[in-house]
Amino acid sequence: MRGIFAAGVLDAFLEQDYRPYDFVLGVSAGASNLLSYLGNAPTRSYQVITELATSKQFYNPRRFVSGGYLVDVKWLYEESNRRFPLDQERVFNSVPFIAAATNVATGRPDYYEITPDNIAKAIEATASLPLAYKETPCFDGGCYTDGGVADSIPVREAYRRGARDITVILSHPLSYEMPKPKAGWLMKKLFAKHPNIGLALAKRAENYNDSLQFIKNPPKDCVVRVITPPEGFPVQRLTMKKALLDVGYEMGVKEGRSHVNHLTGKLEYRQEECHFC
């Protein structure tokens, strides 16, 4: 649900027809948000989150206790397309769209370009939360779980692909660092059948914080522009109250407008606003 912030940022970009990117790269909910951006569908991600992701068809603890899904990712994707159809031609005639998912066999991230042929499985795979979603989406010779397990912030992959002016939208305030798991051994035990996933989960905080360090100290030939929720961002992973989601969305819209206005010269950064000056 913290993806509501990025939904607001990207809607602000669409509002100002801001499309300067050579390619986009998303993980989990971030990949879903990018579909609406590439499809020029303002407010679609907001509607998906506030109307569908808050429903019992998607998130249902009782269903989980009885052996079903905690979150039904496939239903969310299919219902989103039924309720809020996208202009597929616009999506795929835009810039390349790359998503990340965690390979079940290796525990490492795989990055794949989303195409008309793989889009359904690809979006399902990148958001397939371990344990919470009991399917293991497979396509192109691999089987996958949530991309955030192995690479929550794929800024280093963007750099590896040649990007030297990178915009990162985070779902936590800039001060956040992911704490190390208190029971890494439990992750390994829960995923005994897929030991590399257990190992990836145990190392998730380390990988996440390494990405933050890259953002804060990028290579000399690279500029990283970071858009983050403000301190006090009220939305948590499982926030279901629409009033709080609305606040998070409006925070995203405000930060997205501010970002574009600063880059186009309509506003100048004050020192306290320029995170890495």
Q: Which residues are catalytic?
A: 28, 146
Three-state SS across the chain?
CCHHHHHHHHHHHHHCCCCCCCCEEEECHHHHHHHHHHCCCCCHHHHHHHHHCCCCCCECHHHHHCCCCCECHHHHHHHHHHHCCCCHHHHHCCCCEEEEEEECCCCCEEEEECCCCCHHHHHHHHCCCCCCCCCCCEECCEEEEEHHHCCCCCHHHHHHCCCCEEEEECCCCCCCCCCCCCCHHHHHHHCCCCHHHHHHHHCHHHHHHHHHHHHHCCCCCCEEEEECCCCCCCCCCCCCCHHHHHHHHHHHHHHHHHHHHHHCCCCCCCHHHCCCC
Phi, psi of 105 (to 5 degrees): -75, -40
Quote the CA–CA distance of 213 and 2 in Å, as a whole number: 21
Closest CA to 119 of 153, 78, 152: 78
CA dist 240 → 59, 127, 157, 248 (Å): 10, 18, 32, 12
In total, the chain counts a number of residues equal to 277
